[in-house]
Chains A and B, each alone.
Chain A
């Protein structure tokens, strides 16, 4: 069928060709002599050039990506999340394996980019992506379940930011993942404690850089980063009375066996100073504690909650709700409270969508909040997941989404390139036309000016100017400065071309003919000569645009272009001057670099195709 069609088409087009060759088609005079306007010819030539069309398509795609994308995908320029720094590309943080049945789940825990589920049969299931922690070779893979853990019958697990702790039914403690601070292996004295017959582990707790244990004799053991162990000094009131702990990086809240709470750690934080008195003097009996990095949350036996700490991320503003709280849990920057009727109240940071509950979620039975991920299991046994899905293009050293910065950086880079090109083209047109038109001393002066500017070494002077002037400027003014520097140092070539072209065109026969017909000098200039120069300008705008994008990227790469935190494709690569970044965090330099290359390449393809379309003689080249 298909074949026949093709043959049919070929046959009919051959037929038409023969007809045109041998049997004169009856075209009217007008049809035969119809000429296209130059513009039409150019467009037709251009659309026939396959490479040029591909370039154009890419170019439009980049414009849409940057300008429409930045409207659809707003980012907060000052936002940073150091915990999530340098995460590799991946969007599967919430992709719970389909084989995992919600009714089998005993517990779910999450670190910065990975989650583990503990099943009722004592085995583990994992998903998400590996947090990149290859520096100084201090990482085992956290998503690789160690052999002895896979064999053991696990009864409890906890996740730190980049490491895991698990406990089996024999009372053995296992740790794996990032061990840069020794947080995965309990020190000898703790091990010795655990080996005692009567001592059992009541609770495990893991933070980013340290781990902790509460044993059945109500004592608390902390190990890991030296800063944390120094920070967390246990007083006599606490020792031997610990019921449960929760903690941020620098503060820990401890629930004692008499129902009061204590906070230890950094003394200057609101976490430490703002503890409500009724929780420490025994007038209220607390039953559970939870903590984000800088805030604490306490649940009392009457189902009321108390929270205090830093005012960041709206964490102290508990939303209004009705009903009694059944359970509380916390992520790194958000709280989750499960009410007795199964509904969920959540508040805190929402930059990673961690407090954005899924729609139509049924009444929950259990809820688990990890660093930035949440999992809820309903009473009828469905699993819901919400929070950080991951980063399509990874995250940078400050935990900012590379994709978001790529979109907004694209907007900046493409705009800076465009305005720089416009500035240089305007200067070039003015200089080139006046030099070519007026001639004489004007021509001389302007061409010497062009000589002066082209003898200025570009990168050294651009960098010096950006340093000398840009230092005292605001972010916005600095952007304009870069545009002006690029524009002012880049007009000479085009100005010379325009002048030369003007001189050539002026001597051509059609100008003589126009003069002979008595057309005014001005009109000859504007109507007859300029359109011929205009083509040159159009081609050079596209080619100049490509080189502006490249130069901006180069300047920003050196750190003298667009300044942080405003993103640009060039300054996203600045940190790639460190060998660590080149070695381990390829997405932080390869992806923005690739975008610069593709944008410049597509502009160059369009420019080349335009040149060929405008001047058919170019085709001979």
Chain B
């Protein structure tokens, strides 16, 4: 297992380095002068020129590209992400709270997704071509064809505008509320974004679980198990589902991590102060440092996702780690 783990990490290191090179080049393409963004605007002309030169040196822009890349990369690992011009605070401070908010949102989503899609997917595979199966097939096809913002807008229109049950979006106000009211307000703000993200991820996960289950149910060992006279419950849950778990688990891990980057649109529609929304407002405000940090963060997350799903895969399926 350790050998397998080390091997996967060794493969992923060059992948991550390549991504950082891509990110660095995108940073260099960014419009706007990074030096100017760091300087106060109230300086006199000659003072400004001096400050400009000093900052130019300090940012290391006089060095060669590979050197600049190396400084940028090591700074990232040291946790020095730079200065967010939009908030006038260090980037690290700016992103802490949004990361927490996104994690809260995504945990809710992943739990709902697992609670619904796994039993439904199994049942669809067992009762193939039944009305139940057909319903969920249509459901997942239709939901899969919907852009997340459209689902979000429809839900806002129904539940916030017409019925007035839930807020339009935004975050609970921590200064006005306390105790249970605060928690309740959190939950009310969480409902719609969670539902939107869950619907979309359920749509694909149900299909994956169902197909994995069908493949498992078509295996010879299932026929053997049935021929032995095992109970159908045992056949389905211990024999078929455990084997279907292999593809499902990797997908679940991947979905969890991809939610971070994928919830950008949903967070924007609901004005949920998560990292996706921070990303979009950083771009709208031309906050270069924040943009590049966010991109590096998202990339690190997705590489981690690949690594973790590889590990889970190897953990569940011995054939993978031994081959």
Contacts and interface: CB of A to CB of B under 8 A. Distances in A.
Interface of A: 448, 451-452, 454-461, 463-465, 467-469, 471-472, 546, 550, 553-554, 557-560, 570, 573, 576-577, 579, 582-583, 586, 589-590, 593-594, 596-597, 600-601, 603-605, 608, 620-621
A582 B144 contact: no
A553 B283 contact: no
Interface in B262-282: 262, 264-265, 268-269, 276, 279-280
A10 B280 CA distance: 64
Interface stretch (B11-19, B37-45, B102-110, B177-185): B11-19
Interface in B176-224: 210-211, 214, 218
Contact of B31 (A448, A460, A468): A468
Contacts of A559: 284
B157 A586 contact: yes
Contacts, number: 144
B161 interface: yes
A457 B141 contact: no
B29 to A, nearest CB: 5
Nearest to A559: B284
Contacts of A463: 264, 279-280, 283
Contact of A461 (B26, B142, B214): B26
B119 interface: no
A68 to B, nearest CB: 24
Q: Top 4 A-B pairs ranked by shortest CB distance?
A: A457-B261, A457-B298, A601-B145, A593-B150
A448 B146 CA distance: 32
Interface stretch (B65-73, B301-309, B312-320): B301-309
B303 A560 contact: no
A579 B276 contact: no
A574 to B, nearest CB: 10
B298 to A, nearest CB: 4
Contacts of A593: 147, 149-150, 153-154
Interface of B: 11-12, 14-16, 18-19, 22, 26, 29-31, 128, 141-142, 144-150, 153-154, 156-157, 161, 168-169, 210-211, 214, 218, 258, 260-262, 264-265, 268-269, 276, 279-280, 283-284, 291, 294-295, 298-299, 301-303, 306
B261 A601 contact: no
B136 to A, nearest CB: 13
Contacts of A451: 11-12, 15, 306
Nearest to B284: A559
Nearest to B283: A467
A472 B31 CA distance: 9
Nearest to B306: A455
Contacts of B148: 554
B147 A469 contact: no
A418 to B, nearest CB: 17
Given A463-B283, A560-B283, A554 B157 contact: no
A597 B141 contact: no
B214 to A, nearest CB: 6
Contact of A456 (B11, B169, B302): B302
Contacts of B29: 468-469
17 contacts: A454-B302, A455-B15, A455-B16, A455-B302, A456-B19, A457-B299, A463-B264, A464-B291, A468-B29, A550-B146, A553-B147, A557-B265, A576-B149, A583-B157, A586-B157, A593-B150, A601-B142
A573 B268 CA distance: 13
Nearest to B214: A621
Contacts of B214: 620-621
Nearest to B17: A452
Contacts of B150: 573, 589, 593-594, 596-597
A558 B280 contact: yes
Contacts of B161: 582-583
By CB atoms of chain A within 10 A, which of B128, B149, B214 has the most? B149
Contacts of A583: 157, 161
A605 to B, nearest CB: 7
Nearest to A583: B161
A577 B268 contact: yes
A468 B25 CA distance: 11
A586 B154 CA distance: 10
A582 B157 contact: yes
A460 B15 contact: no
A597 B151 CA distance: 10
A575 B259 CA distance: 24
Given A597-B142, A601-B142, 4 more contacts: A457-B301, A460-B295, A464-B30, A589-B150
A594 B154 CA distance: 10
A327 B148 CA distance: 57
Contacts of B14: 448
Contacts of A553: 147, 149
A448 B276 contact: no
Contact of A452 (B19, B141, B258): B19
A554 B149 contact: yes
Contacts of A469: 29
A594 B148 CA distance: 12
Contacts of A570: 147
A452 B306 CA distance: 11
B145 A464 contact: no
A542 B18 CA distance: 31
B142 A460 contact: no
Contacts of B168: 579, 582
B189 to A, nearest CB: 14
A600 B145 contact: yes
A600 B144 CA distance: 9
